[in-house]
Amino acid sequence: MTFISRRDLLKRAAVIGGAAAVSRSAEATRSAEAFALHIHSAEAFAIPREPLENLTAAEADVLDAVVARLIPTDANGPGATEARAAHYIDRALGGALAASRPVYTTGLAALDTYARTSRGKPFAGLPATDQDAVLVEVENGTAAGFTGSAAFFALVLNHTLQGTFGDPYYGGNANFVGWDLIAYPGVRTMVSAAEQQQLEKRALKANRKSAYDSNSFTKATAKNLSRRRPHGEGA
């Protein structure tokens, strides 16, 4: 089994946060010049880490390095680092993903230990090619001494996708870079016939707002609706 490609990751993003899938042609037309202007700025790489809420500093160092390789920054656009996917995970481990907190404790430590024993350095200190090789072995379940590595890889990959392409309300997809990357035009509570035609032509102007920025859809409303109606039932 080969390591998942960036293109495959983008295709999988279609199911995260209601995002629309990006076509191969649209992905290919992203120019390196535009990326350099908007991403390869000093400010883009000088974003300080947010205060940690659940992970330790050592755990966050490993996680930052992992998500950076799962959805890497490249000429096609920003990746999980710019989207602050690790921040989303750290924040969610105190809430919606709380059940996964012990898995992150053991998994990140095991991954770092494997990197040290197999490559002689902590994971965050390895060059990108070695980090990728380590992650391939973790994904394939061939990382010696790392029991359950494949399941851990799948868990972190799923959470990284959520943090990159989900609604910014939850702490990831910073500055909407994930939505921009897959050309998702943003949350709309109503779509006119004209807007639908623009959407189909990929010409709809991006609505750079969280779902919870809408007065008609707030976090309190969502909670009230979930209490009144079982999940999956219609209105």
Q: In the prediction, which pLDDT does 186 show? A: 67
Alpha-carbon span 8 to 96, nearest angstrom:
26
Q: In the prediction, which pLDDT does 180 show? A: 82
Q: In the prediction, which pLDDT does 48 show? A: 75
235 Cβ contact partners less than 8 Å away, ≥ 6 residues apart? 229
Mean pLDDT for the chain?
75
Kindly calculate the radius of gyration of the chain based on its CA atoms and give it in whole angstroms: 19
Q: In the prediction, which pLDDT does 205 show? A: 65
What residue ranges do the domains of the chain occupy? Answer: 6-184
Q: In the prediction, which pLDDT does 22 show? A: 35
Alpha-carbon span 117 to 88, nearest angstrom:
29
Instruction: Please report, as a single letter, which amino acid is at residue 231.
Output: H
Alpha-carbon span 153 to 110, nearest angstrom:
12
CB atoms within 10 A of CB 206: 12
- Please give the helix or strand (H or E) that residue 13 lies within, else none: none
Distances (CA, A) of 139 to 80, 94, 142, 185: 18, 25, 8, 32
Which tens digit of pLDDT belongs to each residue from 36-56?
Answer: 444 444 344 456 788 999 999
Instruction: Please report, as a single letter, which amino acid is at residue 230.
Output: P
Least confident of 28-42, 78-92, 93-107, 179-193: 28-42
pLDDT band at residue 184 under the 50/70/90 scheme: confident
50 Cβ contact partners less than 8 Å away, ≥ 6 residues apart? 84, 87, 90
147 with 139: CB under 8 angstroms?
no
